[in-house]
A and B are shown apart, each in its own frame.
Chain A
Amino acid sequence: MTNRIAVQRASAEEAGTSAQPGLLKSPRGKPVNVLLGAAGLLTVALILQVLAPLGLVRAQDLPPSTDILTAFFQLLGDSSIWQAVYDTVYVWAIGLAAATVAGVLLGLLIGSLERLRKALSSTVEFLRPIPSVALVPLVVLLFGPRYESALVLVIYAAFWQVLVQTIYGVADVDPVVTETARSYRFTKLGVIRHVVWPTALPFIMTGFRLAATVALVLTVTAQLIIGTPGLGRDIALAESAGANARMYALVLVTGLLGLTVNLLVRLVEKKVLSWHMSFRKDAEE
């Protein structure tokens, strides 16, 4: 069993390192890099611009980037897009919050009780890889195209990410430290508050970051496939109406929303973990 825990731990830590790709941090502070990055984006826009006129794609399939941008700015003036953005963020935030609270609480409980963890691990390992989209037909029948459908999918998908990382985090607690705290007469809650929580927090944040991305993916999926209101449904509608420039503009909006989510989550992580080694090292560089 110890061996298995070690492997789990290793993979959790590795997920921790992998998910901190300093990509967004590195260009900052170096004007040359900012320029290069802007040039990269410009290149993509230019390529998109000339593909249709050169006859490589049909203009109705992939409109030139100027057309997409025009549609994008038209969208921004349209109140329905803001409603769609609001609907998307609403489902995402509620689902993510519910999944995080449930995942952290259950994770701390399961992780602290050795027997419970052993008894649950096979079930968790079994339920976790089940793709949440498998539940799509069920929620369609139960709720139809309403918020609840999307929420069930989002919570199911995001919950496992947080739960598993929290359990890994609790397993990472150094037993010597726990014993020391106990010999100083820390109460059970005191041990959790001052020993378990700080050790598990970096793992929990990794789980939270993964969950935030997955939650957005599932929110948009539900809108696209089931038709719950939001950006995904607008994309499906624009596609079936043949309004392709509008569809690409909506995809761009979704991408910008995803980018905001990524930045926001990284900001939260930086705030919460500012005391932690990995972030202090970054700050010193």
Chain B
Amino acid sequence: MKVLRSALYVLALPAVLFTTWWVFSAYSTNVYFPSLRRILGVFPATWFEGGWNSRIVVDGFSSVWRLAVGFSLATLLALTLGTLIGLSSRARAYCEPTLELFRAIPAPVLVPVISLFAGIGDEMKIFVIMLGCLWPILLNTVEGVRAVDTVMIETAKSYHLKTLRRIQKLILPAASPQIIAGMRQGLSVGIILMVISEMFAATSGLGFTVVQFQRNFALPEMWTGIIVLGMLGLFASLLFQVFENRSLRWYNGMRQASRDS
């Protein structure tokens, strides 16, 4: 009974919304809002036709690949730089105004700037995604590293833990809740930049495909593209949730314990 009830809570509203959309759009004569039946009808032909050459494989893969590479590079760079900057108060004072300025530049304006250097190939997109994801992760790493308990650092020092081991065993884990919060912000910026850089100039990718549909007035297909982009955002966020729950299990447990007591 209990399972049934919670399933009802999860599914009821989405089912209602889906039905409403279906019914209200069924006899839609508005070109911009084709009926849901038509949208779902063209979905398989638009995205899955052609096996390994289908759009979902070719464009989906090139988009996700750019996002993954850009995001990973940004995380690596931010962790390295952030630890270095966070550990020294001099370095922090030296870098902070510059970092604040660069962070304040809205990431999409990087698209035309980077395309000057890297043309409009994959490198441009990966670089744009990397630069956009970098700032939230970097600033959170700096702040997380700075806030590590000094008593713990002193203790680790008095046990003669070498600097590298101290970073690996104490500082990075202690800063990880903040770092992961930054990574979550970075990921959503990364997805935005992935789509924009493909809309701005590309020959493949999900953003490119959706804009192509729009320019050709292929409206049902365009709607399928919007759904695919939405799904991508959803899966990325679910995947990140799994990663976050795993790597912060100790932290959430600790909070839970302190709350219960």
A interface list, Cβ under 8 A from B: 1, 6-7, 10-11, 14-15, 17-19, 21-24, 26-27, 30, 32-33, 36-41, 43-44, 57, 61-62, 118-123, 126, 128-138, 140-142, 210, 216-217, 219-221, 224-225, 231-232, 235-236, 239, 244, 247-248, 250-251, 254-259, 261-262
Contacts and interface: CB of A to CB of B under 8 A. Distances in A.
Given A122-B10, A224-B111, 4 more contacts: A14-B181, A18-B144, A141-B32, A224-B109
Given A129-B234, A239-B112, A18 B214 contact: no
Interface of B: 6, 9-14, 17, 32, 90, 92-109, 111-113, 115-117, 139-140, 142-144, 177-178, 181-182, 184-185, 188-189, 191-192, 195-196, 199-200, 207, 210-211, 213-214, 219, 222, 225-226, 229-230, 232-234, 236-237, 244-245, 251-252, 255-256, 259
B95 A40 contact: yes
B56 to A, nearest CB: 16
B13 A122 contact: yes
A70 to B, nearest CB: 18
Nearest to B235: A129
Nearest to A239: B112
Contacts of B143: 18, 21-23
B96 to A, nearest CB: 5
A234 to B, nearest CB: 10
Main secondary structure of the interface of A (DSSP, over half): helix
Contact of B236 (A122, A129, A132): A129
Contact of B32 (A36, A138, A262): A138
25 contacts: A10-B256, A15-B184, A17-B178, A18-B177, A23-B142, A37-B94, A41-B97, A44-B98, A61-B117, A62-B117, A129-B234, A129-B236, A131-B191, A131-B230, A133-B192, A134-B230, A136-B210, A137-B222, A217-B108, A220-B106, A221-B106, A254-B105, A259-B104, A261-B104, A262-B100
A26 B93 CA distance: 8
Contacts of B219: 141
Contact of B105 (A26, A221, A251): A251
A27 B100 CA distance: 12
A123 B17 contact: yes
A24 B101 CA distance: 11
A33 B9 CA distance: 54
A58 to B, nearest CB: 9
Contact of B108 (A14, A21, A221): A221
B201 to A, nearest CB: 11
Contacts of A26: 92-93, 96
Contacts of B109: 220, 224, 231-232, 235, 250-251, 254
Contact of B233 (A18, A120, A130): A130
B9 to A, nearest CB: 4
The SS class assigned to the B binding surface is helix
A212 to B, nearest CB: 11
A119 B94 contact: no
Contacts of B92: 23, 26
Given A133-B192, A137-B213, A235-B112, A255 B233 contact: no
B65 to A, nearest CB: 17
A123 B214 contact: no
A134 B140 contact: no
A119 B9 contact: yes
A7 B246 CA distance: 12
Contact of A119 (B12, B90, B108, B196): B12
B54 to A, nearest CB: 20
B99 A23 contact: yes
Contacts of A120: 13
A126 B207 CA distance: 20
Nearest to B190: A131
Contacts of B185: 210
Nearest to A257: B104
Contact of A23 (B32, B139, B196, B237): B139
A138 B224 CA distance: 12
Nearest to B147: A17
Given A138-B32, A236-B112, A32 B93 contact: yes
A115 B219 CA distance: 37
Contacts of A248: 113
Contacts of A133: 192, 195-196, 199, 207, 229
